């Protein structure tokens, strides 16, 4: 039996929960500035939440209508337990349902291997985003 569930979130009603996870991972852990993390795009994005069996948020991710995956965050205690893979799988399924032919993401360099094992291909040079090295990655659906 799975230790967690993935569900589509509603930005209006789930905003504080999504923000809390992203603050923990990106702002507190990685030192991303709040203004960089919260870019104003969230209300238009498809948001997902990963929750433990007691419905506590343990991860989140989003997909823009143009097919860009982003803001994937899993709380430290839940890493290595399949939460990120489940979030990514649900985002890819959603993109297919929307008829999106290709998804893109800006992967932190340390996470490239995670995405490569799921079929993503890194292209282009490394670049800095929020003072963290990234590369663009693509997956044809």
Q: What is the domain-level CATH number for residue 34?
A: 3.40.630.30
| Residue 131 falls inside a structural domain | no
pTM: 0.94
| Residue 70 falls inside a structural domain | yes
Burial (CB count within 10 angstroms: exposed 0-12, middle 13-18, buried 19+), residue 62: buried
Please tell me the predicted confidence (pLDDT) of residue 2.
Answer: 76
Confidence of residue 1 (pLDDT cuts 50, 70, 90): low
Looking at the structure of the chain, the number of domains it has is: 1
- Answer yes or no: is pLDDT of 14 > 90: yes
| Residue 56 falls inside a structural domain | yes
| Residue 106 falls inside a structural domain | no
| Residue 23 falls inside a structural domain | yes
Phi, psi of 65, deg, nearest 5: -65, -20
| Residue 33 falls inside a structural domain | yes
**From its phi and psi, is residue 107 left (phi > 0), alpha (psi between -120 and 50) or beta?**
beta
**Pair 72, 61: CB distance under 8 Å:** yes
| Residue 116 falls inside a structural domain | no
**Domain residue limits at 63:** 4-100
Q: Which residues contact 22 (CB under 8 A, 6 or more apart)?
A: 37, 38, 60, 71, 73
| Residue 134 falls inside a structural domain | no
**What would the pLDDT profile of 58-115 be if each residue is shown by its tens digit?**
999 999 999 999 999 999 999 999 999 999 999 999 999 999 999 999 999 999 999 9
**What would the pLDDT profile of 22-73 be if each residue is shown by its tens digit?**
999 999 999 999 999 999 999 999 999 999 999 999 999 999 999 999 999 9
């Amino acid at each position: 039996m799975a230790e967690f569930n993935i569900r589509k979130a509603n930005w209006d009603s789930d905003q504080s929960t999504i923000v809390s996870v992203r603050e923990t991972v990106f702002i507190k852990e990685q030192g991303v500035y709040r203004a960089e993390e919260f870019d104003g795009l969230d209300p238009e994005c498809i948001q997902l939440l990963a929750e433990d069996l007691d419905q506590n948020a343990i991860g989140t991710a989003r997909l823009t209508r143009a097919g860009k995956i982003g803001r994937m965050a899993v709380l430290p205690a839940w890493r290595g337990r399949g939460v990120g893979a489940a979030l990514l799988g649900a985002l890819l399924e959603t993109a297919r349902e929307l008829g999106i032919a290709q998804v893109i993401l800006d992967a932190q360099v340390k996470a490239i291997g995670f995405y490569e094992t799921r079929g993503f291909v890194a292209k282009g040079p490394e670049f800095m985003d929020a003072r963290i090295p990234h590369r663009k990655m693509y997956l044809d659906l």
